[in-house]
């Protein structure tokens, strides 16, 4: 390309065209490049240009397509301005054809008359010669004939010499005289002319001139001329052909080659090259489109590259995530495996526990059935009628004994289940050791003595006066061991030896007997649940086989253990050690101090009390039993069979004490107490429950219980509660807390004064069986009677009211009539006494 | 106590019940006692006086105690409201408690019950029952 090289350089990756600049100098710097030699410009590093040779419009177009054209957009420029090449080629071709055709036409034209023309020309020339020669001859005087011939000769030579004529030789015949000029060569054609002239001035004598001219034959001339013309035309056509080829080469082939090379370069992946677009012909366009295409491809490739790298990144992230997932899966599998193992272990444990429980239940049911058999048997025997008093008594004793045994079994089982469930809690409160041991003695000593055994308590002084432990549990252990000792001892003695190990801070209590003892082979089994020395022992001595197991567990809970020393046939020694805590020397008891703490009376306190008690208890038997105790103590009892009834009675009635069972149907005691306290009930509520757990008691206190009694009822505690919350019957003075004033009394008087009115209304409504009015009246009386010191009125009104509410109208009217009776009585009494009753219970 | 006394409202349609309650409360030294003869009256009086303690009967004409309770509790949660009713059913009490009653007294009430309620009220106001009568 002859123009200064301007390269259309690549855009930046972002697709933005950088400002263009002249890069003519780059042609040299890249001239070594073979592609460059083909007219392709390689990009200048970092610097892009746009072709300045482009028309402004086209450049604007380019600028407007700086951003990669959206897909589907066809990039064009102004075609009309770029037709030069096409026209040039067309004109060239046209002219060439014209020239060729003209040349051939001329050729044909000229060659057609060549012979005739030649013949004509020769003939004309000969005519001229003939005239000239005849003129010479006619002018010459006849005396100088000689001279005239010479003149003719030279004229002929001169003609031949100087003329461009085709005549090569001349022969002039004048009156027999011949003059030759030129040379006659073979192949020449002879043409002749004759002329007559006057050789004297008087024109009397005419002479004849014969001219013979030798010249080329017209055919030869035409042939040679034709050959020459053909040669010329062929030369011209050849020259034009070369010219055309050159033009085509420059205009078409070279740019095409450039394009080809570029395409090849692109196909090998070189997208950075750009074509020279300075040409204004189709190739310029093609190059521009090519460049644009490359731009697009490059842009797309960059996009692809970006997308690809993004994809690669994504793939990497995915792979990482996958790896993590795999890791997690492995971990999970591991975990699952571990869990499965744990579960299997737990299942095995559960299965074992279940088996143990099954065995336990089998044992228990056996243990329970055993005492039940005599109970049912003797009871049935008695029902059928035993004639002898002695038999009846023995049967009853048997029933009682077996019933107690049953109770023991159940207590043991409960303890056991608590122990197994780790629910058993022990207290640590100060306990007087001598008192505790005395309690044990009082309970089991009698049994020993009944059996003819000695029962002693030995102290190895010094022993602590007070130890910190759980007295109930310690007593339970000692009683159990002592009872066992008595059970398995036929003669001799049972004793409890108490001592203190100051280094270990342990209280040691050894229960010693002179009984059957235990062989060494059975020593280990003794403390297992449901095992006695052998099954025959069970048959002979009874027992649940739980006592020792429970005792050992309790001892351990108390911070110690039980050891067993025994010899078959000689006796056993169960050594209980418990944690007594560090005890100061001055707190230790010596022998001299024995009896310092007198035994407390174990008599059941039979305090007489007065007051009303609401007993909320669902079991009819417990209702009867506790009612009996309360009645014996002198309290009035009302019974509610569930929490809801208890609540309503407590709200409506007036009780000094509520004994509330915690487990009841419909509404439990807890809820009832909570509700009562919420409603502002201020009376004393004592919880009654078989749940002896500390946290239970705490919960009861939290909802508003003032105290706690465990079931089955321990009479001493029961009486303690009664005397604490009820007035003693001995101190009969009614300590009234309610205020009394004149106003209240006058209102009470008003109430009494209004009573006859009520009686009348009630009578009327009852007679008319007007339930609405009666109900309203009863309701009012119910609300007022108690408040004014007539609880009986309220009571009767309440029952009637309740019956009305239950739609038992007949009963209700009956009760209303009784209420009228009571009202009448009150009126009569009041009239008689004329006194004030208001406030007596208010 | 800004004015040194507790203002009390007794709402009951039976005059004798009102007198009884007034007498009982007076026994604890409470003097600033107003009476309302029905629910509407009670609400009107409360709107004016803003009593500290209301003894509210449930069965009243025009507006029941429960309605009065609901009206008061819409804006006021400080007033101590004692429901008084002849119905001691658990559902009754539960409903009343759920609607913001502070204590529930069932007719017939003994002085002891009223005392328990007053105790509860006094405890709520952080004073002793004895002090309450004196303030």
The reply to whether A377 falls in a domain is no
Instruction: Indicate whether A431 and A497 sit together in one domain.
Output: yes
The answer for A704, left when phi > 0, alpha when psi is -120 to 50, beta otherwise, is left
3-state secondary structure A697-753: HHHHHHHCCCEEEECCCCHHHHHHHHHHHCEECCCCCCCCCCCCCHHHHHHHHHHHH
Residue whose C-alpha is closest to residue A128's, from A179, A163, A180: A163
Residue-level pLDDT at A33: 41
The answer for A179, left when phi > 0, alpha when psi is -120 to 50, beta otherwise, is beta
The reply to whether A772 falls in a domain is yes
Chain A residue with minimal CA distance to B111?
A842
Instruction: Indicate whether A724 and A747 sit together in one domain.
Output: no
Residue whose C-alpha is closest to residue A465's, from A500, A441, A497: A500
Instruction: Indicate whether A447 and A578 sit together in one domain.
Output: yes
pLDDT tier for residue A85 given thresholds of 50, 70 and 90? low
Instruction: Indicate whether A506 and A565 sit together in one domain.
Output: yes
* Contact yes or no for B86 and A779 at CB 8 A: yes
Instruction: Indicate whether A616 and A717 sit together in one domain.
Output: yes
Instruction: Indicate whether A458 and A554 sit together in one domain.
Output: yes
| Highest mean pLDDT (candidates A172-181, A361-370, B65-74) | B65-74
Contact with chain B for residue A739, Cβ under 8 A: yes
pLDDT tier for residue A544 given thresholds of 50, 70 and 90? low
Burial (Cβ within 10 Å: 0-12, 13-18, ≥19) of residue A244: middle
Residue-level pLDDT at B115: 87
Q: What is the CATH number of the domain that holds A186?
A: 3.30.1140
The reply to whether A50 falls in a domain is no
Q: C-alpha distances in angstroms, B4 versus A335, A354, A438, B31?
A: 71, 70, 61, 12
* Contact yes or no for B107 and A654 at CB 8 A: no
Residue-level pLDDT at B3: 47
Buried b (16+ CB within 10 A) or exposed e, A509-524: bbbbbbbbbbeeebee
Q: What is the CATH number of the domain that holds A444?
A: 3.30.565.10
pLDDT tier for residue A43 given thresholds of 50, 70 and 90? very low
The reply to whether A557 falls in a domain is yes
Count how many pairs of residues, chain A against chain B, have C-beta atoms within 8 Å. Answer: 115
Shortest CB distance from A741 goes to which of B17, B26, B120?
A: B26
With tokens 């052909």, the residue in question is A241
Residue-level pLDDT at A658: 93
* Contact yes or no for A738 and B115 at CB 8 A: yes
Each residue of A593-639: pLDDT tens digit?
Answer: 444 444 333 344 456 788 889 999 887 777 877 888 888 788 888 88
pLDDT tier for residue A783 given thresholds of 50, 70 and 90? low
Reported residue count of chain B is 135
Average pLDDT over residues A498-508: 88
* pLDDT exceeds cutoff 50 at A39: no
Residue-level pLDDT at A203: 58
Please indicate whether residue A225 or residue A499 has the higher confidence score (pLDDT).
A499
Q: C-alpha distances in angstroms, A450 versus A445, A487, A496?
A: 8, 12, 18
Instruction: Indicate whether A490 and A515 sit together in one domain.
Output: yes
Instruction: Indicate whether A576 and A679 sit together in one domain.
Output: no
Give the side-chain half-sphere CA count within 13 A for A494.
32
* pLDDT exceeds cutoff 80 at B130: no
* pLDDT exceeds cutoff 90 at A510: yes
Distance (Å) from the alpha carbon of B123 to chain A's nearest alpha carbon: 11
* pLDDT exceeds cutoff 70 at A837: no
Residue-level pLDDT at A317: 92
Q: Which of B89, B90, B97, B117 to mutate to test the interface with A (most CBs of A within 10 A)?
A: B90
Domain extent, residue A446, equals: 425-593
Contact with chain B for residue A784, Cβ under 8 A: yes
* pLDDT exceeds cutoff 70 at A465: yes
pLDDT tier for residue A721 given thresholds of 50, 70 and 90? confident
Average pLDDT over residues A177-206: 75
Q: Which of B23, B82, B91 to mutate to test the interface with A (most CBs of A within 10 A)?
A: B23
Instruction: Indicate whether A635 and A765 sit together in one domain.
Output: no
Please indicate whether residue A665 or residue B63 has the higher confidence score (pLDDT).
B63
In contact, A163 and A174? CB cutoff 8 Å: no
E strand segments, A482-554: 493-501, 506-513
Instruction: Indicate whether A712 and A755 sit together in one domain.
Output: no
Domain boundary residue, one of A216, A235, A266:
A216
Domain count, chain A: 4
Distance (Å) from the alpha carbon of B126 to chain A's nearest alpha carbon: 16
Contact with chain B for residue A675, Cβ under 8 A: yes
* pLDDT exceeds cutoff 70 at A22: no
DSSP per-residue string spanning A324-374: HHHHHHHHHHHHHHHHHHHHHHHHHHHHHHHHHHHHHHHHHHHHHHHHHHH
Distance (Å) from the alpha carbon of B78 to chain A's nearest alpha carbon: 16
Each residue of A524-535: pLDDT tens digit?
Answer: 777 776 554 444
Instruction: Indicate whether A504 and A583 sit together in one domain.
Output: yes
The reply to whether A170 falls in a domain is yes
pLDDT tier for residue A83 given thresholds of 50, 70 and 90? low
Residue-level pLDDT at A64: 39
Distance (Å) from the alpha carbon of A658 to chain B's nearest alpha carbon: 14
Instruction: Indicate whether A432 and A527 sit together in one domain.
Output: yes
* pLDDT exceeds cutoff 90 at A422: no
Q: What is the CATH number of the domain that holds A789?
A: 1.20.120.160
Least-confidence region, from A66-70, A436-440, A610-614: A66-70
Q: What is the ipTM of this complex?
A: 0.82
The reply to whether A492 falls in a domain is yes
* pLDDT exceeds cutoff 70 at A52: no
Average pLDDT over residues A269-296: 80
* pLDDT exceeds cutoff 80 at B68: yes
Residue-level pLDDT at B10: 92
Domain boundary residue, one of A728, A759, A774:
A728
Contact with chain B for residue A616, Cβ under 8 A: no
Least-confidence region, from A5-19, A159-173, A274-288, A598-612: A5-19
Each residue of A747-772: pLDDT tens digit?
Answer: 667 677 778 888 888 888 888 888 88
Residue-level pLDDT at B135: 60
pTM summary value: 0.35
The reply to whether A753 falls in a domain is yes
Least-confidence region, from A49-53, A267-271, A540-544, B32-36: A49-53
Distance, C-alpha A527 to centroid of its chain: 54
Q: What is the mean pLDDT of chain A?
A: 75
* Contact yes or no for B86 and A787 at CB 8 A: no
Residue whose C-alpha is closest to residue A16's, from A51, A76, A74, A65: A65
- The edge-to-edge listing of strands for the beta sheet with A636-640 is A636-640, A612-616, A657-661, A684-689, A707-710
Q: Which of A643, A656, A679, A684 to mutate to test the interface with B (most CBs of B within 10 A)?
A: A679
* pLDDT exceeds cutoff 90 at A576: yes
The residues spanned by each domain of chain B are: 8-134
Least-confidence region, from A293-297, A575-579, B29-33, B109-113: B109-113
Q: Is residue A688 helix, strand or coil? A: strand
Residue-level pLDDT at B119: 86
What are the two backbone dihedrals, phi and then psi, of residue B53, each rounded to the nearest 5 degrees?
A: -135, 130
> Cβ atoms within 10 A of the Cβ of A490, count?
11
* Contact yes or no for A786 and B89 at CB 8 A: no
Least-confidence region, from A251-255, A361-365, A400-404, A740-744: A740-744
Q: Which of B108, B123, B129, B133 to mutate to test the interface with A (most CBs of A within 10 A)?
A: B108
Distance (Å) from the alpha carbon of B100 to chain A's nearest alpha carbon: 11
Q: Is residue A395 helix, strand or coil? A: helix
Residue whose C-alpha is closest to residue B68's, from B50, B87, B43, B46: B43
The reply to whether A568 falls in a domain is yes
Q: What is the CATH number of the domain that holds A715?
A: 3.40.50.2300
* Contact yes or no for B104 and A667 at CB 8 A: no
CATH H-level, domain B8-134: superfamily: Response regulator (3.40.50.2300)
* Contact yes or no for B108 and A794 at CB 8 A: yes
């Amino acid at each position: 390309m002859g123009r200064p090289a301007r390269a259309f350089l690549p855009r930046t990756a972002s697709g933005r065209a950088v400002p263009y600049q002249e890069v003519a100098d780059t042609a040299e710097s890249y001239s070594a490049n073979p592609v460059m030699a083909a007219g392709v410009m390689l990009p200048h590093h970092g610097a892009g240009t746009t072709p300045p040779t482009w028309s402004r419009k086209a450049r604007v177009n380019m600028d407007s397509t700086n951003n990669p054209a959206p897909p589907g957009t066809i990039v064009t420029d102004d075609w009309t301005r770029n037709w030069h090449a096409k026209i040039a080629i067309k004109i060239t071709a046209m002219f060439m054809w014209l020239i060729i055709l003209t040349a051939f036409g001329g050729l044909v034209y000229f060659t057609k008359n060549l012979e005739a023309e030649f013949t004509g020309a020769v003939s004309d020339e000969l005519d001229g010669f003939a005239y000239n020669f005849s003129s010479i001859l006619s002018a010459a005087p006849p005396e100088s004939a000689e001279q005239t011939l010479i003149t003719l000769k030279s004229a002929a030579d001169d003609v031949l010499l100087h003329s461009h004529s085709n005549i090569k030789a001349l022969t002039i015949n004048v009156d027999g005289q011949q003059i030759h000029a030129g040379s006659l060569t073979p192949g020449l054609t002879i043409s002749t002319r004759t002329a007559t002239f006057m050789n004297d001035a008087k024109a009397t004598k005419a002479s004849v001139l014969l001219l013979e001219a030798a010249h080329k034959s017209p055919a030869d001339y035409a042939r040679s001329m034709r050959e020459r013309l053909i040669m010329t035309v062929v030369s011209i056509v050849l020259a034009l052909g070369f010219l055309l080829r050159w033009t085509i080469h420059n205009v078409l082939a070279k740019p095409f080659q450039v394009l080809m090379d570029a395409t090849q370069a692109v196909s090998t992946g070189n997208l950075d090259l750009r074509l020279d677009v300075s040409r204004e012909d189709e190739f310029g366009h093609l190059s521009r489109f090519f460049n644009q295409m490359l731009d697009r491809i490059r842009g797309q490739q960059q996009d692809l590259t970006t997308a690809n790298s993004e994809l690669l990144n994504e793939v990497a992230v995915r792979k990482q995530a996958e790896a993590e997932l795999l890791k997690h899966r492995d971990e999970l599998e591991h975990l699952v495996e571990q869990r499965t193992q744990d579960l299997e272990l737990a299942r095995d444990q559960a299965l074992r526990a279940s088996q143990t429980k099954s065995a336990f239940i089998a044992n228990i049911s056996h243990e329970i059935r055993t005492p039940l058999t005599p109970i049912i048997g003797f009871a049935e025997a008695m029902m059928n009628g035993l004639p002898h008093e002695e038999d009846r008594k023995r049967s009853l004793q048997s029933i009682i004994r077996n019933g107690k045994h049953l109770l023991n079994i159940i207590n043991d089982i409960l303890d056991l289940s608590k122990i197994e469930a780790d629910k058993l809690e022990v207290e640590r409160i100060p306990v007087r050791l001598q008192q505790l041991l005395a309690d044990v003695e009082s309970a089991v000593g009698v049994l020993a003595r009944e059996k003819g055994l000695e029962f002693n308590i030995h102290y190895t002084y010094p022993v602590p006066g007070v130890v910190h432990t759980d007295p109930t549990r310690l007593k339970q252990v000692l009683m159990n061991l002592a009872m066992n000792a008595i059970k398995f001892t036929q003669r001799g003695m049972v004793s409890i030896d108490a001592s203190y190990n100051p280094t270990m801070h342990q209280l040691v209590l050894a229960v010693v007997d002179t009984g059957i003892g235990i062989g060494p082979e059975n020593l280990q089994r003794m403390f297992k649940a449901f095992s006695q020395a052998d099954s025959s022992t069970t048959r002979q001595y009874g027992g649940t086989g739980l006592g020792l197991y429970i005792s050992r567990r309790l001892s351990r809970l108390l911070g110690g253990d039980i050891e067993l020393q025994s010899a078959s046939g000689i006796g056993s020694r169960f050594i209980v050690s418990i944690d007594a805590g560090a005890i100061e020397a001055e707190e230790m008891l010596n022998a001299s101090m024995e009896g310092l703490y007198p035994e407390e009376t174990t008599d059941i306190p039979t305090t007489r009390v007065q007051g009303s008690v609401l007993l909320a208890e669902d079991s009819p038997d417990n209702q009867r039993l506790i009612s009996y105790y309360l009645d014996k103590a002198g309290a009035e009892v009302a019974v509610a069979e569930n929490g809801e009834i208890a609540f309503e009675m407590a709200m409506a009635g007036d009780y000094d004490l509520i004994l509330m069972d915690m487990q009841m149907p419909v509404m439990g005691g807890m809820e009832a107490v909570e509700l009562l306290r919420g409603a502002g009930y201020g009376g004393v509520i004592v919880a009654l429950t078989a749940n002896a757990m500390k946290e239970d008691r705490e919960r009861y206190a939290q909802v508003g219980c003032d105290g706690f009694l465990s079931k089955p009822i321990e009479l001493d505690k029961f009486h303690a509660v009664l005397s604490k919350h009820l007035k003693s019957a001995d101190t009969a003075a009614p300590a009234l807390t309610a205020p009394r004033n004149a106003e209240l009394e006058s209102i009470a008087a008003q109430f009494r004064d209004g009573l006859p009115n009520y009686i009348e209304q009630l009578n009327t409504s009852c007679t008319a069986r007007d339930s609405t009015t009666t109900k309203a009246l009863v309701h009012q009386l119910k609300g007022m009677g108690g408040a004014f010191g007539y609880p009986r009125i309220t009571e009767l009104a309440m029952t009637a009211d309740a019956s009305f509410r239950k739609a038992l109208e007949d009963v209700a009217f009956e009760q209303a009539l009784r209420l009228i009776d009571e009202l009448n009585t009150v009126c009569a009494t009041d009239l008689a006494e004329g006194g004030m009753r208001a406030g007596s219970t208010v | 106590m800004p004015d040194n006394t507790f203002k009390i409202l007794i709402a009951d349609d039976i005059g004798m019940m009102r007198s009884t309650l007034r007498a009982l409360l007076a026994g604890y030294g409470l003097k600033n006692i107003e009476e309302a003869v029905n629910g509407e009256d009670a609400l009107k009086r409360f709107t004016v006086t803003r009593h500290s303690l209301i003894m509210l009967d449930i069965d009243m004409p025009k507006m029941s105690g429960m309605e009065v309770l609901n009206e008061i509790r819409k804006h006021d949660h400080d007033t101590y409201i004692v429901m008084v009713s002849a119905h001691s059913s658990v559902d009754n009490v539960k409903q009343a408690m759920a609607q913001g009653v502070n204590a529930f007294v069932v007719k017939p009430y003994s002085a002891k019950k009223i005392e328990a309620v007053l105790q509860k009220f006094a405890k709520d106001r952080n004073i002793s029952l004895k002090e309450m009568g004196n303030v």
